[in-house]
Amino acid sequence: MTEIDKNLKYRLTENVVSREIEGEIIIVPLTAGIGDAEDDLFSLNETGKAVWGYLDGTHSVQEIIDLLEKKYDSEASGITDDVTGFLNELLSRQIIEAV
C-alpha cells in the first residue's frame, strides 16, 4: 500500500463520474471509455461522503484530517488511519490523483 503524503492535495481523476442519487454518492470509474455500472459501481457511507467533499484539490490530507477531527470530536490517530486508508483505496482504483 502506498504511503499517503499528508501534505498532498487530491482531486478526482478525469475518468471518474460521481453523482449524488437519493442521498448516496455513486461513483463510476471509466475504464477504457466504459462506465461499468454492472461490476464497478461504488457508493460511500456518511463519513466517506464527508471526506469525498474535500477531494477537490484544495485541501491537503492533513487539513482534511484536522477538519474531521473537529467535526467528529474523535482521536487524531483513528481519523488519520481512516482517511489515509480511504485515500489509498481510492488511489488504488484510480479514482483520485494528487494535484
Binding site for another protein (CB under 8 A): 14-15, 17, 19, 21-22, 24, 26, 28, 30, 33-38, 41-48, 51, 68, 72-75, 78-79, 81-82, 84-86, 88-90
Burial zone of 68 (CB within 10 Å; 0-12 exposed, 13-18 middle, 19+ buried): buried
| Smallest separation, CB 8 to another protein (Å) | 18
| Smallest separation, CB 72 to another protein (Å) | 4
Q: Cell 461513483 identifies what position?
A: 27
Does residue 14 sit in helix, strand or coil?
coil
